[in-house]
Amino acid sequence: MLKFFAAVALAAFLAATPAFAGSLQEAQRRIGTDRLAHFAGGAACSLAVERAFHRDPAPGLSGALLTRRYKKAKSFLFCSGLAYVKELSDTSFDRADLAASAAGAALPLFEIKF
């Protein structure tokens, strides 16, 4: 009986996959590959800056949570500033690209705990 339910679940997943892929392609077409790349670049920059340049304080120090949140804010500000300078160096300043980069840099600010 368990194999039957697994087969039905697999068949339902495979039947729904093309419909999901179509909506995903539509969203990518609407947003644009350039903006998705700016978002991913901002998130990667923020995570790299947070992990490479900012170390956690020693265990037991007071204010460790505040320091952790401040560290994330500093990495967001650094990467957003870097995106702003990058947009200034382009031939045409695009505010939507800057917003996508800043949104990607803000992504690590939100912790999701499972």
How far apart, in Å, are the Cα atoms of 98 and each of 17, 38, 41?
A: 33, 8, 11
pLDDT tens by residue, the chain, 114 residues: 666 666 666 666 555 555 555 666 676 677 777 888 889 899 898 888 877 766 655 555 555 555 666 777 888 888 999 999 988 988 888 888 899 999 998 887 777 666
pLDDT at 59: 58
